[in-house]
């Protein structure tokens, strides 16, 4: 048996659990214009800096616009979001 400090509910005060069936994705915009088929969900995003961690949802047939990054970009592709 796990010690109390590792019990499943012991981290609840310090973590966020996201129910993807209820998540409210935002329309993705480029220069104020919505990008067809793209939506995003900020997870840890700094609006002032314009950077952070977020999920992007692509509708079938949608694609990202060409762009460059000063730093890297990391992403996960999932069919479940």
* Mean predicted confidence (pLDDT) in 26-36: 88
Supply the DSSP symbol for 60: T
pLDDT beyond 60 at 19: yes
Higher-confidence residue of 5 and 64: namely 64
Q: Which of 32-36, 40-44, 54-58, 67-71 has the lowest mean pLDDT?
A: 67-71
Q: Strand 51-58 and strand 26-30: pairing? A: unpaired
Whole-number average pLDDT of the chain? 78
Beta carbons of 45 and 52 less than 8 angstroms apart:
yes
pTM given for the model: 0.63
Residues 48-67: tens digit of each pLDDT = 887 788 888 888 988 887 87
Contact 39, 54 (CB under 8 A): no
């Amino acid at each position: 048996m796990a010690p109390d400090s590792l019990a499943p509910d012991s981290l609840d005060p310090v973590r966020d659990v996201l129910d993807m069936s209820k998540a409210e994705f935002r329309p993705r915009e480029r220069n104020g214009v919505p990008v067809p088929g793209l939506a995003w969900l900020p997870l840890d995003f700094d609006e002032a800096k314009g950077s952070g961690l977020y999920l992007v949802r692509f509708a079938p047939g949608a694609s990202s616009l060409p762009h460059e990054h000063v730093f890297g970009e990391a992403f996960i592709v999932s069919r479940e979001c």
